[in-house]
Structure 1
Amino acid sequence: MRTLALRGGARVAVVAAEWRDAFGVVTRGRVQLELRDGEPGPVLGRDAGFWLRGTGVRALRNPGRRTARVRIVTPGARTVTRRSTHPYTGHRTMEDDMNGMNDTEVVAGPAPGRSSRTPRLLGLAGIGFAAALAAMAATTLAAALAQAAGVDFEVPDGGETIPLPGFAVVTGFFSVVGVVIAVALLRWSARPARRFVWTAVSLTAISLVPPFLVGANTATVVALLGLHLVPAAVMIPTLARSLRARTD
């Protein structure tokens, strides 16, 4: 038998070979089951027991701040005399035998003073900022090409012409906002990639409204719409792929 310790906010992937026929019991705190499609599953409290084989659970999470512990009866242990067909069941009929076995502890989560999520978050942020630079360059280049083709980017309501550096600044700002959203979802969401795509696409759709309201000519409106889509085409797929890679 072994004990799995999950520090606050920690997540540990379920390896099928390690959980084959194993029975787990939450002995301290709460443990949330993360389903195969990334959906958050049930939260199990103290004294709750569960099987994982065939349930579609891909990870265990600690949704709280205090360390949670799970006792795991490994295959071949003399205490496992029968198996339940239900994934979640009580464990008190096994408690006496379990208490009499040798116990080893495996700790999952950050060491004191350091978060295990930090490398993942920093990696995502680095990729995001690199993508933001690429989006700025692509948008500025597209604006320059549109300007060379005769688009004046004049905004009658403001009486000004949008300069090329302005496209880079605006693109950079909103790209950084997208990176911050992605990092926040990776830190706190059980399915960050899906929620990021939904949020980013929604915000992109909203951003397509203002070009119709500034009173510019048709060529400028069409060019502005396209320039809103260019950074979205760079940032959304890049960050979504990075989020999936860090949650699989």
Structure 2
Amino acid sequence: MGTRTGTDILATRPVWQVSALAGLAAATATELYGLAARAVGVPMEAGNIGASVSRPITIGMFAMGTAVAVFWGTILAVLLARHGRRPARTYLRTTIALTVLSLAGPFLAGATATSTKVMLALAHIFAAAIVIPAVTRRLSHSPAVPAGAEGWPSQPTSDSSAQRAARRAAEFRSGLRVTPRTMECPRRPEA
């Protein structure tokens, strides 16, 4: 009996759970990073984009910011896992683009020291480097949606029950039976 690795265990967990665990790790890591930056003397004050006044960056703000980003990233991952044709690839490309876009915040912050801007931008990259690979890896283990079957079987159709029964009967007569649970298409043996 072999032992299971952490990657094997995460591959069988729900997408939201993997994202939440990665988010917890990222929130902890970025908060520790912020505390370390504070300890070495990086000014902990930043302004909004174009602001003329800065506000203090308090303890817990790194973790809170990471948690908010991971919340929305989790929703994205779950939707892609359920409805996407290539969820891992789409998630990876989208989150990398969003991470690059998020760097505008620190670099365009007004009334903020350059060392603080760099430190905040690195915190964004640091959090993304923890969450994105873990969730992408998990999404790569999601079953692919068959071509032409976007949303099936999760989206209800507007067919009446009689129409659905007739369609299933026609599929069965043709020797092609598609079951939503297994997504198999077994052939009836020739008589």
| TM-score category, normalised to shorter length | 0.5 to 0.7
CA contact (8 A) 2:107 2:118 kept: no
Report the Cα distance in structure 2 between the residues aligned to 1:153 and 1:201, rounded to whole angstroms. 26
Q: Counterpart of 1:51?
A: none
1:220 to 116, 119, 131: 116
Deviations 1:91-147 (A, max 9, x none): xxxxxxxxxxxxxxxxxxxxxxxxxxxxx9971111111111111001000111111
Instruction: Say yes or no: does 1:230 pair with 2:126.
Output: yes
Q: Deviations over 1:132-191 (max 9, x none)?
A: 111100100011111111111212534311112111111101111111101100111110
Judge conservation of contact 1:124–1:183 (CA < 8 Å) in 2.
Answer: yes
1:166 to 61, 64, 68: 61
Partner secondary structure for residue 164 of structure 1: coil
1:141 aligns with 2:15: no
Contact persistence 2:107–2:121 (CA under 8 A): no
- Select the residue among 112, 137, 152 that pairs with 1:241: 137
CA-based RMSD of the aligned residues comes to 1.8
Q: Which residue is equivalent to 2:17?
A: 126
Which consecutive unaligned segments of at least 5 residues does structure 2 have? Answer: 1-10, 145-191
* Residue-pair matches, total: 129
Q: TM-score, normalised by structure 2?
A: 0.64
Cross-structure match for 1:7? none
**Any conservation in 2 of the 1:182–1:196 contact (CA below 8 Å)?**
yes
In structure 1, C-alpha distance between the alignment counterparts of 2:23 and 2:72, rounded to whole Å: 10
Aligned residues with identical type, % of pairs = 35
Query: Is the counterpart of residue 185 in structure 1 residue 80 in structure 2?
Result: yes
8 Å contact 1:121–1:187 — kept in the other structure?
no
Which residue in the other structure is 2:167 paired with? none
For CA contacts below 8 A with separation 6 or more, give which structure has more relative contact order. 2
Paired position in structure 2 for 1:62: none
Match of residue 210, structure 1, among 105, 116, 133: 105
Where do residues 1-248 of structure 1 align in structure 2 (5 Å cutoff)?
123-156=14-47, 157=51, 158-215=53-110, 216-247=112-143
Residue 142 of structure 2 aligns to a residue whose secondary structure is helix
* Cα distance in 2 between the residues matched to 1:180 and 1:201: 16
Q: Equivalents in 2 of 1:247, 1:151: separation in Å?
A: 46
Offset of residue 213 of structure 1: 1.6
Distance 2:54 2:138 in 1: 41
Q: Which has more helix, going by share of residues? A: 2
Moved over 6 A (4+): none
The CA distance in 2 between the partners of 1:163 and 1:141, in whole Å, is: 13
Helix, strand or coil at the partner of 2:127? helix
Q: Confirm or deny: 8 A CA contact 2:106 2:120 kept in the other structure.
A: yes
